[in-house]
């Protein structure tokens, strides 16, 4: 596109079906549309109004029919690209839309025909899965559907803190800057950022989440017809591949979108061949997707946790609460200390149960950890229960037997059962 610069202001003219790819620097960046229409990952930018984008954000402003964009600030990089896979993505959306209409119009009580598309987005890391998921949800919401967003990616977490799997209905196009509203979210806490820590637990939580959604769909034809869009992890080899198959199966996916990998596409096509009601579709990865190394991923995990407690630009203040050790019970799932061999019947081998819930002593080792607040009514139900939210342990006073933690809302916690994992965070002040 044509570019004109004056001071920190820069105008870029975008031709139809092209995008302006931006990496924000360490300073926030302001952007507005001065002419035409443009969207960020499926969510339209209102005309004329300046929006501020936080440091380090990477995104693209795309236009279907042409637009002029104005930027105020210094970027890390910004360039125009006219080769994008957006037409193929919107074509997928059009097919999904037709299926939603079909499901909505279905008069039979047959659960199959009144079920809208269940889309699962798969592919290696940095193939643009989260981005495509966002677009499909936003385009659907723009047309008045309320699709369910399911996030199985424990490594990054688009709905809530990393280490969780979650689902939430999407009623409006997703804001390019703000996080999702959490009040309707159904969240399960796995507690680690890689599924290999406890594969059985990961699968169990995926099963729980799917079952609850299935029940909700039964009583809600509107969300049933809108269907769901499921984002997955970038781990596609070995156990990761098996977990993808497990998710496809558990959520009864009807459309599998494979981003940017021929091998995964042909493997999935092969195994799903026998299922006539599953479409496996190959899509190109966008050249705009920014690869993230380990350090960047760690940083982005930390900022997700910070965002949960403090808001995107530290506009929220979490509540600090102090409880006595007796008022709370902390548990860990799986991997707890095993019974000593001497305590077992002669000849038996100690086996660890990945779903065993074991109490955890409250002491210094919980300092800086992120704990989930379980809805379970008793410890035995922790694995099968969703969580209301998270607390962050800021102080453990062994003398007074008191624990201090941050919570996003005031008052007593909805439950005294907390779940620990391996997720911790060092608050940077
Ligand atoms: P992971 O498997 O690690 O979760 P992913 O496959 O979900 O990764 P995304 O999160 O969608 O990948 O994309 C990686 C990064 O690239 C994100 O910061 C995203 O905003 C950015 N990005 C995606 N598409 C574009 C684009 N067209 N232009 C600029 N940036 C983009």
Average pLDDT score over residue span 378-396: 96
Q: Does 127 show up as a binding residue in the annotation?
A: yes
Pairing mode of beta strands 402-407, 319-324: antiparallel
Sign of CA dihedral 139, 125, 250, 163: negative
Please give the structure tokens belonging to residue 133: 């998921």
Bridge partner list, 119? 229, 255
Query: DSSP letters along 31-81, please?
Result: EEEEEE--EETTEEPPBS--EEE-TT-EEEEEESS-EEEEEES-EEEEEEE
The alpha carbon dihedral of 109, 113, 116, 121 has a sign of positive
200 annotated as belonging to a binding site for a ligand: no
Answer whether 240 contacts ligand 1 (Cβ < 6 A).
Answer: no
Q: Is 240 annotated as a binding residue?
A: no
Token couple for 45: 């930018």
175 in a known ligand binding site: no
Query: Is residue 68 within 6 Å of ligand 1 at its C-beta?
Result: no
| Separation CA 149–CA 230 (nearest Å) | 6
Helix (H, G, I), strand (E, B) or coil at 301: helix
**pLDDT per position as a tens digit, 115-161:** 999 999 999 999 999 999 999 999 999 999 999 999 999 998 889 99
Please spell the DSSP secondary structure of 353-396, one letter per residue. -TT-EEEE--SGGGTTBEEEEE--SSGGGSTT--EEEEEEEEEE
**Ligand 1 neighbourhood includes 158 CB (under 6 angstroms):** no
Residue 288, ligand 1, Cβ within 6 A: yes
pTM beyond cutoff 0.80:
yes
* Binding site membership of 285 for ligand 1 (Cβ less than 6 Å): no
Q: Give yes or no for residue 289 CB within 6 A of ligand 1.
A: yes
The model's confidence at residue 276, banded by pLDDT at 50, 70 and 90, is: confident
Which residues are registered as beta bridge partners of 120? 230, 256
- The minimum-distance atom of ligand 1 relative to the CA of 124 is 2
Instruction: Give the position, in ligand 1's atom list, of the atom nearest the Cα of 131.
Output: 11
> Which residues contact residue 11 at a Cβ distance below 8 angstroms, ignoring those fewer than 6 apart?
3, 4, 5, 34, 68, 69, 70, 71
Is residue 130 within 6 Å of ligand 1 at its C-beta? Answer: yes
Percentage with pLDDT > 70 across the chain: 95
- Looking at the DSSP bridge assignments, the partners of residue 372 are 390, 419
In short, whether 333's Cβ falls inside 6 Å of ligand 1 is no
Q: How far apart are CA 364 and CA 375, in angstroms?
A: 25
Which helix (H) or strand (E) segment holds residue 235: the answer is none
254 is in an annotated binding site: no
pLDDT tens, position by position, 72-108: 999 999 999 999 999 999 999 999 999 999 999 987 6
Ligand 1 site, residue 21, Cβ cutoff 6 A: yes
| 381 CA distance to ligand 1 middle (Å) | 37
On whether 19 is known to bind a ligand per the annotation, the reply is: yes
Interface pTM, i.e. ipTM: 0.98
d(CA 215, CA 224): 10
pLDDT at position 429 is 46
Where residue 425 falls among pLDDT bands split at 50, 70, 90?
confident
Ligand 1 pocket: which of 126, 175, 176 to mutate (most atoms <8 Å of CB)?
Answer: 126
pLDDT of residue 348: 64
Choice among 114-118, 311-315, 317-321, 386-390 with the minimum mean pLDDT: 311-315
- Nearest-angstrom CA–CA distance, 99 and 227: 9
Distance 27 CA to ligand 1 centre (A): 20
* Residue 65 C-alpha from the chain's centroid: 30
Give 22-64 pLDDT, tens digit per residue. Answer: 999 999 999 999 999 999 999 999 999 999 999 999 999 999 9
């Amino acid at each position: 596109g044509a570019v004109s610069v004056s001071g920190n202001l820069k105008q870029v003219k975008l031709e139809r079906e092209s995008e302006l790819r931006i990496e924000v620097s360490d300073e926030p960046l302001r952007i507005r549309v001065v002419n035409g229409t443009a969207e960020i990952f499926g969510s339209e930018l209102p005309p004329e109004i300046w929006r501020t984008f936080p440091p380090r954000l990477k995104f693209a402003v795309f236009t279907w029919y042409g637009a002029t964009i104005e930027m105020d600030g210094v970027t890390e990089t910004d360039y125009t690209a006219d080769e994008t896979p957006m037409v193929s993505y919107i074509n997928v959306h059009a097919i999904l839309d037709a299926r939603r209409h079909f499901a909505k119009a279905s008069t039979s009580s047959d659960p199959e025909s009144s079920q809208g598309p269940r889309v699962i987005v798969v592919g290696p890391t940095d193939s643009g899965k989260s981005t495509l998921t966002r677009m499909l949800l936003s385009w659907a919401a723009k047309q008045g559907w309320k699709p369910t967003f399911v996030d199985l990616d424990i490594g990054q977490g688009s709905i809530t803190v990393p280490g969780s799997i979650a689902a939430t209905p999407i009623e409006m196009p997703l804001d390019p800057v703000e996080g999702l509203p959490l009040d309707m979210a159904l969240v399960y806490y796995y507690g680690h950022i890689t599924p290999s820590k406890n594969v059985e637990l990961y699968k169990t939580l995926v099963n729980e989440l799917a079952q609850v959604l299935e029940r909700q769909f039964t009583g809600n034809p509107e969300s049933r017809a809108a269907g769901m869009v499921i984002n997955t992890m970038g781990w596609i080899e070995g156990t990761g591949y098996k977990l993808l198959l497990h998710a496809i199966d558990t959520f009864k996916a009807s459309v599998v979108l494979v981003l940017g990998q021929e091998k995964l596409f042909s493997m999935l096509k092969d195994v799903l061949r026998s299922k006539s009601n599953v479409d496996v579709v190959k899509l190109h990865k966008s050249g705009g997707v920014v690869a993230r190394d380990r350090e960047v991923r760690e940083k982005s995990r930390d900022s997700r946790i910070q965002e949960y407690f403090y808001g995107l630009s530290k506009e929220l203040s979490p509540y600090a609460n102090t409880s006595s050790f007796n008022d709370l019970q902390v548990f860990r799932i799986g991997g707890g200390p095993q019974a000593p061999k001497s305590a077992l019947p002669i000849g038996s081998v100690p086996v660890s149960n990945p779903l065993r819930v074991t109490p955890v002593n409250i002491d210094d080792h919980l300092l800086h950890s992120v704990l989930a607040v379980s809805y379970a009514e008793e410890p035995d139900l922790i694995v099968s229960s969703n969580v209301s939210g998270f607390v962050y342990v800021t102080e453990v006073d062994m003398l007074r037997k008191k624990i201090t933690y941050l919570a996003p809302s005031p008052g007593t916690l909805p439950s005294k059962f907390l779940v620990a994992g391996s997720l911790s965070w060092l608050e940077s002040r």
